[in-house]
Structure 1
Amino acid sequence: MNRLGVVMLVHTALHRAEQVARHWTAAGCPVVIHVDRKVSDKDFTAFSAACADDPLIRFCERHTCEWGGWGIVAASQSASQLMLEAFEDVHHVYLSSGACLPLRPVSELIEYLADRPRVDFIESATTADVSWTIGGLDQERFTLRFPFSWRRQRRLFDTYVKLQRRLGLRRKIPEGLMPHMGSQWWCLTRQTLSAILQDPKRQVYDRYFRHVWIPDESYFQTLARLYSTHIESRSLTLSKFDYQGRPHIFYDDHLQLLRRSDCFVARKIWPRADRLYQSFLTDQKCAVKPAEPNPGKIDRVFAKAVERRTRGRDGLYMQSRFPRHGSENGLTCFPYSVFQGFTELFEDFQPWLAETTGTRVHGHLFGPDRAEFAGGETIINGALSDCAVLRDYNPTAFVSNLIWNTRGERQCFQFGPADTQNINWFLARDKNAQISIITGAWAIPLFQSNRNFADIRNEAARLQQIETKQLEVLRSVWTKARARTWSLADFVESPMEALQAVIEEIGTKNASHLTEAPKMVDLTGFGQFLQNLKNQGMHPYLMGDFPVDDVFGAQMRPFRKPYLVQ
């Protein structure tokens, strides 16, 4: 009968390592444990004493293990050497860590390996064939020297790499070796593993790999290619990594996910995941059915998790994910509409729009005095206040929060050149924004006001300048919003057609066409008002070609109802 031996690299959670080791030995598998030298002698002594009653558990020479250093390879060598010497009937050696957990009955793994007596399971691919390397060092990890710790001596590490590049220093790869990379968690046959450990050139290979970056991902992966007669380039251990190259940690709520993988062993298990340890270290004969390990079955879940971690949700900002400018996954989470000039041109435009479209219609959310919420509310969803000071502290967050807190219900609000303008670029860059502008409509309230004409002229010049800059933003190549603009003259000439286009883009409660428009304000004398502005030296060009003879004034015929010709 083929016997499986397990090498376990332990550096923390020693009580869990003991629990898993006894699970292996209960199935007849000898276990050789390497305990990181950084673990205190007191803890090591207590750990080894706790395992002393099990004759199948041994402890090997200890090495200091650091991430990316040679110590992990040295620990694997020492433990493997002791395994081969102490248990001559071991046919396969399985490398695991103290954070690994068997997911299926050990007997199934033994039978699986017995059916494949000559197969070495080790992920082994050339640098040209892998895409998971993080940090920009692929082939260079084999041709440069790395005497400094990437984690503890990062500045020295980077400086020395740059120096070697500048001087053109390159290490010679030992003759006959073709560097390969892969997961450090392998399962090798006795023949292959003993050939690696007893190779006459081992000192040469060890001296070379001692200064390779992250040698535990390349030492056995490269040397196995020299001696194995049948390599399956995959690991029998389920290990997932995030976009930064850090391993995913499995918790209790991953129980069903791990079962679906059909893998024999998984890492990295949270030491306090009591439910996982209790579920998988008991009799599992009825828990899962024998199947080929298939980690691809859960790849979709991890891919979705990585996307959620890196991209987030549309329009959601929070403490754990506040992306830098330009890296947002959608500025807002739901479509909304911005109307400029409509409340100035039409009487009771807001209630008409709310009734026609079924949306929530606000007033000027960025008015100088307060945010004019629908229905005169002072606080709405998400405890957003109408206070102008709070709103203007971060106007972009104000809009994002408004849309997020009311997602599922389309929001509409009014805007104009008299409002706070810090929101312009945000609105322009937001693909969810539908912006409809009647240019020059801001002049209507000035026309209706009872102010001195000199003051009206100055205010008109100021508002026109502000709206001109706003239109320049909307014409930018960076604009993603759907923007429609009409001059006041063009809109007044054919208001039903323009309103129909806007309403259709919003989506109405019913599919019927508009039969009537909101009542337009009286524009009698407005053309002459614009001419007076020109006469006073102010050129009102955003209104379009508005005639002086009042053809758009009160004498204008009522709007005709639109009709369809079939």
Structure 2
Amino acid sequence: MTLGFVLLVHTAFDRAEQVARYFAANDCPVIIHVDGKVKPRTFKDFRDRFQGEPLVRFSRRTRVEWGTWSLVRATQFAAERLLDNFPDVRHVFLASGSCLPLRPVAQLKDYLATHPETDFIESVTTHQVTWTVDGLETERFTLRFPFSWRKNRRAFDTYVRLQRRFGLRRRIPDGISPHLGSQWWCLTRRTLESILNAPDRPAVDSYFSKVWIPDESYFQSLSRRYSADIESHSLTLSKFDVQGKPHVFYDDHQPLLERSDCFVARKIWPHAERLYSTFLDDERPIKRHADPNPGKIDRVFSKANERRGRGRPGLYSQARFPAPGFENGLSCARYNVFSGFEQVFHQFEPWLARRLGGRVHGHLYHPDQVEFAGGETVMNGCLSDSPALRDYRPEQFLTNLLWSTRGERQSFFYGPGDTPQIGSFLARDPNATLAIISGAWVVPLHTSNMDFDEIKAEAARLQRAEIMFLRTLRATGVAARVHLWTLAEFVEQPIEKLQNILDEITGPGPRRLTDLPQMRDISGLPDFLLQLRNGGIKPQVVGDFGSMPTRINRAAQERSQNVR
């Protein structure tokens, strides 16, 4: 009888009973503390189950609340009774009712027998702590905490701010070096008795009773005072998420738990039948006898914490909708946005689809209808072509489309006549490739049969919208890959400019671009622009067609037709 257990229980009494009986069956005395908040009838029924079991006993009860001195007091009550009732116990192992032994108790006894004077307790100075989440470190030892952090958070925070403002500090008792660590430890009888029988214990207990979360610092600090040999790690596997809450282990975590080589794990889901039946069976084959090493599985938990904290790039859901600026990537995949090309060329959409090999949509943000590729009315992810649904959250419409079609690069058209709310998102997204011919909207206008007053009004509206979009693309924080030409610049060398875009999207290839879709007739464009100017609309985004002789415009048109 060299090892004894202290069990802190407040729920899942059937599982706590299984674990307590398992320890007792391996000749390990168990002292159980049941939370004082548990109803008397429930406590009596639980205690009566152990009648006739001499190695399982119960300690004096106290009401336990997270982060308060009550948890240390409950541990003291149980530890004192264990030491008084079982003088042969050499090591005391603190566990909870949700803990589960991962290796046979005989292995734990053998391991402790090789370390007879060693205390296994995580105990590090506040300067070495890296795991606290939204918590206090050094100040938990120098400030007072009369209010519950969980039940009265506003009073807790207000009192902390007042103490900081007026410089109020508590004096740390002589001989105490503040340390922090996991609540779950395995101490030698000598160290534990020294802590519980210390002559200045009343003063020390009074001090720690006002420390924040003392169960992470009381035994951790006092062990440094009395222990002859400390290994600063716990024999219990416990992992925490990004919010500081313990990970819960389920049946499918069995291989992970075995790989850790730890002796005990918490926190086990009460309904994990396979875990309890497997690990409470001492007849199961033991694969190895290695020292506990939870670091073997740290990578898995680090990845899980990162996934939970940051999510997957470009995936938005009700469960995780980050604040602006805290997204893990705006979208999940690369995509292309073309502006003005379908107005400069005939049948540019099918030509582009053949060139890129992906899906090329029309104007996804057309004010009247979402123009999905192939005229689809519903796309992957049940995305409707309804503009009202799209405009409710235009950014998430795009991110959902990209997520639902990941693995297939998407391309679509966007222009000054489309919904403008998406513009800033496109500019900020590093996955976007934007190819823009500014002023291309004048091409269909100058061949339209509208009244000139209507043409002027439409030209003013489109130019105003395009200028706003171009300002967005020139602002700071633009992460998209932007290719921008005026219409005049583009028609001078259309093949070279399209070749650069395709090389970026698909990668450089051995064959150069030799065919273009037919370019629309722009021979009369300089005269049309002059007419707009004389009518009071100054074309600012089209480029300098005035200095381009008409014969050069015709040459550009002929060059486009020759390479078709």
Q: TM-score range by the shorter chain?
A: over 0.9
Report the counterpart of residue 120 of structure 1 in structure 2.
Answer: 119
Q: Give the counterpart letter for 1:499 in structure 2.
A: L
Q: Distance in 2 between matches of 1:175 and 1:118?
A: 25
| Residues 1:198 and 2:203 are matched in the alignment | no
Residue number in structure 1 paired with 2:248: 249
> Secondary structure, in 3 states, of the residue corresponding to 2:141?
helix
The answer for the alignment partner of 1:467 in structure 2 is 466
1:295 alignment counterpart? 294
- What residue is the counterpart of 1:478 in the other structure? 477
Query: Aligned pairs, how many?
Result: 561
**Map of 1:31 onto structure 2:** 30
Secondary structure (helix, strand or coil) at the match of 1:309 reads helix
Given that residues 96 and 185 in structure 1 are in contact (C-alpha distance below 8 angstroms), is that contact kept between their aligned partners in structure 2?
Answer: yes
**Partner Cα separation in structure 2 for residue 526 and residue 118 of structure 1:** 93
Alignment-mate amino acid for residue 551 of structure 1: R
**Are the equivalent residues in 2 in contact too, given 1:17–1:98 (CA < 8 A)?**
yes
What's the offset of the Cα at 1:284?
A: 5.1
Aligned to 2:268: 269
- Check if 1:91 corresponds to 2:90: yes
Hey, what's the Cα distance between the residues in 2 that align with 1:260 and 1:406? 37
* CA shift for structure 1 position 400: 0.8
Which structure 2 segments of 5+ residues have no match?
Answer: none
Match of 1:214 in 2: 213
Q: Which amino acid aligns with 1:409?
A: E
| Residue 448 of structure 2 corresponds to residue 446 of structure 1 | no
Letter of the 2:477 counterpart: W
Cα distance, 1:163 vs. partner? Answer: 2.1
1:9 partner SS: strand
**Structure 2: how far apart are the matches of 1:440 and 1:162?**
58
User: Retained in 2: the 8 A contact 1:356–1:509?
Assistant: no
Residue of structure 2 in register with 1:322 after alignment: 321
8 Å CA contact 1:358–1:509 kept in 2: the answer is: no
- Other structure's SS at 2:298 match: helix
Amino acid at match of 1:543: V
SS in 2 for 1:224: helix
Q: Flag the 1:67–1:319 CA change in 2: closer, same or farther, 3 A.
A: same
CA contact (8 A) 1:357 1:508 kept: no
Report the counterpart of residue 543 of structure 2 in structure 1: 544
CA distance in 2, matches of 1:467, 1:287: 71
Match of residue 285 from structure 2 = 286
Q: In the alignment, residue 558 of structure 1 is paired with which amino acid?
A: R
Does structure 1 conserve the Cα–Cα contact (< 8 Å) formed by 2:100 and 2:265? yes
How many Å separate the matches in 2 of 1:379 and 1:536? 44
Establish whether residue 20 from structure 1 lines up as the match of residue 24 from structure 2: no
* 1:559 Cα deviation after fit: 4.6
1:166 Cα offset (Å):
2.4
Shift, 1:534, TM fit: 1.2
Report if the CA contact (8 A) 1:357-1:509 is conserved.
Answer: no
1:511 offset after TM fit, Å?
A: 4.8
Q: Hey, what's the Cα distance between the residues in 2 that align with 1:33 and 1:426?
A: 58
Q: Matched residues in 2 for 1:285 and 1:299: separation?
A: 26
| Letter paired with 1:402 | L
User: Whole-Å Cα distance in 1 between the matches of residues 245 and 93 of structure 2?
Assistant: 22
8 Å contact 1:104–1:284 — kept in the other structure? no
User: Conserved in 1, the CA contact under 8 Å of 2:503 and 2:509?
Assistant: no
For the structure 1 residues 252 and 285, does the alpha-carbon distance in structure 2 shift closer, same or farther, using more than 3 Å as the test?
A: closer
Please state if 1:108 is matched with 2:107: yes
SS of 1:5's equivalent? strand
Give, as a single letter, the amino acid of the residue that structure 1 aligns with 2:550.
D
Deviations 1:210-242 (A, max 9, x none): 111111111111111111110001000000011
Deviations 1:321-344 (A, max 9, x none): 111111111111111100000000
The aligned runs of 1:359-378 (5 Å cut-off) are 359-378=358-377
- Residue 341 of structure 1: aligned partner: 340
Checking the alignment, whether the CA contact within 8 Å between 2:519 and 2:561 is kept in structure 1 is: no
Identity of aligned residues (%): 57
> Do residues 152 (structure 1) and 146 (structure 2) align?
no
CA RMSD of aligned residues (A): 1.5
Task: Determine the C-alpha separation between the residues in 1 that align with 2:415 and 2:42.
Answer: 71
Structure 2 residue 559 is the aligned partner of structure 1 residue 558: yes
Corresponding residue of 1:130: 129
Tell me if the contact between 2:518 and 2:560 (Cα under 8 Å) persists in the aligned partners. Answer: no
Q: Distance in 1 between matches of 2:378 and 2:552?
A: 40
Distance 1:358 1:488 in 2: 26
* Structure 1 residue ranges without an equivalent (≥5): none
Following the alignment from structure 1 to structure 2, what is the Cα–Cα distance between the partners of residues 436 and 338?
6
Aligned residue for 1:208, secondary structure, equals: helix
2-side partners of 1:15 and 1:60: how far apart?
Answer: 19
Distance 2:39 2:510 in 1: 75
**Residue type matched to 2:127 in 1?**
A
Q: 1:136 to 1:75 in 2, by over 3 A?
A: closer
Amino acid at match of 2:240: F
Alpha-carbon displacement from aligned partner over 1:149-197 (angstroms, at most 9, x marks no partner) = 1111212212222222222221111111111111111100111111111
Distance 1:135 1:313, change over 3 A: closer
Cα separation, 1, equivalents of 2:484 and 2:520: 20
Contact 1:187 1:235 in 2 (8 A): yes
Q: How far is the alpha carbon of 1:135 from its aligned partner?
A: 2.9
Determine if the alignment matches structure 1 residue 437 to structure 2 residue 441. Answer: no
Look up the equivalent residue of 2:228 and give its one-letter code.
T
* Kept in 1: contact 2:428–2:477 (CA 8 A): yes
Q: Deviations over 1:251-303 (max 9, x none)?
A: 11111111111100000111111111111111255143111111001100000
| SS at structure 1 position matched to 2:241 | coil
Contact 1:523 1:552 in 2 (8 A): no
2: distance between equivalents of 1:475 and 1:204?
66
1:247, distance to aligned residue in structure 2 (A) = 0.8
Report Cα offsets for 1:15-50 as digits up to 9, x if no partner. Answer: 111100011111111101111101111011111110
Q: Secondary structure at the match of 1:175?
A: coil
Whole-angstrom CA distance in 2 between matches of 1:431 and 1:532: 40
140-149 vs 290-299, which deviates more?
A: 140-149
Letter in 1 for 2:559: P
The normalised TM-score by structure 2 is 0.97
Separation (CA, whole Å) in 2 of partners of 1:263 and 1:284:
18
In the TM superposition, residue 555 of structure 1 has moved relative to its aligned partner by: 4.8
CA 1:192–1:300 in 2, change beyond 3 Å: closer, same or farther? same
Cα deviation code 1:492-532 (max 9, x no counterpart): 00001100011111107965221111111111211111111
Aligned to 1:52: 51
Per the alignment, in what secondary structure is the counterpart of residue 71 of structure 2? helix
